[in-house]
Chains A and B, each alone.
Chain A
Amino acid sequence: MFNWKRFTKISSILWILLIFILFSETFTLLTKPTNENWQHSVRYVLGDVSVNTLIIVGFSTFFASLLGIFLAGMVTLFQFKGRKLFSFLFYLALAFPPYVLAYFWTYFISYTGTLQTFLRSLNIPYQATWFVVDPKFMAIFVYTLSLFPYIYISTKAIINRSLGNYIENARVLGYSYPRIFLKLILPLSLPARLSGGLLVALEVLSDYGVVSYLGIPSFSTAIVRSWLRFQDFDTALRLAALLMVLTLVLLAIFAFIGRRIQNLVPIKGKPLQPTALKPKHSIYLVSMLTLFLFLSFGIPLIQLFYWSIQSLASIRLNRFISSLSNSLGLSIGVSLIILLIAFVLANHGRIQKSFISFIAGKLTLLGYSIPGSVIGILSLIFFLNLRNIIPIKLNQSIILLIFALIIRYAGLAYQSIEQGFNKLGLRFNEAAQVLGKSYFNALIKVDLVLLKPALYSAFTMVFLDIIKELPLSLLLRPFNFNTLPPRFISMPMMRCWLNPPSLL
């Protein structure tokens, strides 16, 4: 008879073995002798690559944090016209792939771009050098604009749900809002900002599109260049191993800080009642937020629409539709598989808190933390080794890409579903059990229904990430299989290639 608990345990063990075998390749490599390309990389490339990566990750996280908390504060502390609309629109920045924004802004401020063309058309004197921006600054700017929602979302949630009574107390004690922001909201939202900040740092670390387009030497570009251009798999793998070590160090730092500040999390908070602003202040705030949205979101969107209409006639529709359907099919299919795997793993952790469930959870989250280029290489090695056991060329099929996407994004779905289970607890399932339903029956009839918000959220996040994912698609797609992101990045002059999520 089917035993669900045993099934989840076996699945967790198999998952642990799979991830362990996958990542162990990194360490067996270190025992092998190095080649000339690697020695050259260490001497001339590694320094720049490391410094650039650290600068971009550090500053992007810092500025995204500032922007996210400022916007979260505005929409939670104050009641004004359009508050709910603004609150929703700030989420949409996540739909813009960073590389799309990088392309747009680089074009927008270039000599032949919209801004300078507009200034010249009005005979406004200016210096072209005013618009020459260091690629690293541009990268930080783009990452800040596209990734601030991670911090915005987590900070908004904690202010709304838990800081109400603290803020009210402060107001009664005579604190102004700027003081409340500095003395209360900033420190008490630190745990939330930390978790959002970690997501930003990991996204920047694993991104390839922006740094590649802007010509910034970073770990991601070095890995892809070694692999695709120099066909030097060994160097690519060593760089990937270094990047993985850097990621683990980052995770350890965030975990260390998280443990030190865990007591800052308000235990018994109260939802916040926003304060109604005076009409004059309301107008200032709405104007400022509208201007921000227009600059960061509106202008790119309008430009993208304009380009798509302009170049409709020159689009090879069949290739566009083919790439689009590949993107959608892959994203939906893989998202559903990931949802199922994450559900089984999270459920095992829920019903059997053991060493196995702990390790399975941590390894799943590790997959999300490791950059896509690293996962790509490790997956390829895994499949090449697998050919020694199963003589089928899986490494040249779509299965390799699907496998790598699952390893990469299972952690994202797992986190959401695990949080859903934690919020739900076991009480409804237990209530169903004492009414005569088996655990599995209760899981399907009760827990699954109540878990719907977490499942929808997990599916949406994974879907959006996969559909705009670039490194894995670029490295692992089989011959003649194209999705939209690799198409886009390979054709910077063809402005007609639009990324559906950025429009939808």
Chain B
Amino acid sequence: MYLELKQLSFKYDQTSIIDNFDLIAEKGSITAIIGESGSGKSTLLRILAGLQNANQGVFILDDQIIFDSKHSVDTHKRRIGLVFQDYTLFPHLTVYQNIAFGMRQKHKKDRIQTILKMVELEEDIKKYPYECSGGMQQRIALARAIANQPKLLLLDEPFSNLDQDLKVRLRTQFIDWAKQEDITLIWVTHDIEEAHLIANQVIELRK
């Protein structure tokens, strides 16, 4: 199995947020995580990305142990992307620089051109985030996340700040891009309909 998460647990101030959580997923699949506020959805993503440490559990991705009881791979070495709810675009960098930020590979320019074409931002490369609309900012955030071809991409309610029409259009486009790139997705959403529409499997987290 491409992704395996076993008995993941996390406590905050003696309160159990995630308790013995298991997950398996195939490469290129989409897993939707739903649940009410405070059920630990965003915490789960932060643990997988390495921004927080679990109290217990094993995480294996593409035959590599990302963390277990003895060791943990640093965030920046995991090749796991995360799209934040508020995009978190770097305000001091242009569209081009934001997308290129994490890239180190050869033929970087060609790759960026491909991504820019895919997300339809070729004309806007010199703009700064504050000059871009909400939809554009969302596309920049998604482009930045997939530019480096992550092994796993985590999305934390990526379209929650957009209006319905734009949300549906971007979501459809993005899933096409992800399939083109063969990226495995874990998608946190509070929209049950959206979850069942896009995902291969839907998991509900409860408090």
Contacts and interface: CB of A to CB of B under 8 A. Distances in A.
Interface of A: 427-428, 430-439, 441-442, 446, 449-450
B95 to A, nearest CB: 15
A427 B81 CA distance: 14
Contacts of A441: 76
Nearest to B150: A434
Interface residues of B, number: 23
A437 B90 contact: no
A405 to B, nearest CB: 32
B76 A431 contact: no
Q: From B77, B82, B88, B91, name the one whose CB has the most chain A CB atoms within 10 angstroms.
A: B88
A433 B91 CA distance: 16
Contact of A433 (B76, B86, B104): B76
B139 interface: no
Nearest to B154: A434
Contacts of B88: 427-428, 430-431
A436 B79 CA distance: 7
A428 B82 CA distance: 12
Interface string B36-61: 00000000000001110000000000
5 contacts: A430-B51, A430-B84, A433-B51, A434-B80, A435-B145
Contact of B104 (A427, A436, A438): A436
A86 to B, nearest CB: 29
Contact of B74 (A427, A431, A432, A438): A438
Nearest to B144: A435
A284 to B, nearest CB: 39
B92 interface: yes
Would you list the 3 A-B pairs with minimal beta carbon distance, nearest first?
A: A435-B102, A431-B88, A433-B75
Contacts of B104: 436
A447 to B, nearest CB: 10
A450 B92 contact: yes
Given A431-B84, A449-B92, A437 B74 contact: no
A423 to B, nearest CB: 13
B21 interface: no
A340 B77 CA distance: 28
B189 interface: no
Contact of B50 (A431, A433, A437): A433
B130 to A, nearest CB: 13
B101 A435 contact: yes
B90 A434 contact: no
Contacts of B77: 436
Q: How would you classify the secondary structure of chain B's contact residues: helix, strand, loop or mixed?
A: loop
A144 to B, nearest CB: 40
B184 interface: no
B148 interface: yes
A450 to B, nearest CB: 6
Nearest to A427: B88
A431 B51 CA distance: 10
Nearest to A426: B51
Nearest to B74: A438
Contact of B76 (A427, A438, A446): A438
B81 A432 contact: no
A302 B86 CA distance: 53
Contact of B102 (A430, A437, A449, A450): A437
Contacts of B84: 427, 430-431
Nearest to A434: B82
A436 B74 contact: no
A449 B90 CA distance: 10
Nearest to B153: A434
Interface string B60-97: 00000000000000111101111010101011100000
Given A427-B84, A427-B86, A434 B75 contact: yes
A434 B81 contact: yes
Given A427-B86, A437-B101, 15 more contacts: A427-B84, A428-B90, A430-B75, A430-B88, A431-B82, A431-B88, A431-B90, A433-B51, A433-B75, A434-B80, A435-B76, A436-B102, A437-B102, A438-B74, A439-B76
Contacts of B92: 449-450
A83 B39 CA distance: 51
B112 to A, nearest CB: 13
A435 B51 contact: no
Contacts of B81: 434-435
Contacts of B50: 433-434
Contacts of B90: 428, 431-432, 446
Contacts of B51: 430, 433-434
Contacts of B76: 433-439, 441-442
Interface in B106-162: 144-145, 148
Residue among A434, A435, A436 having the largest count of chain B Cβ atoms under 10 Å: A434
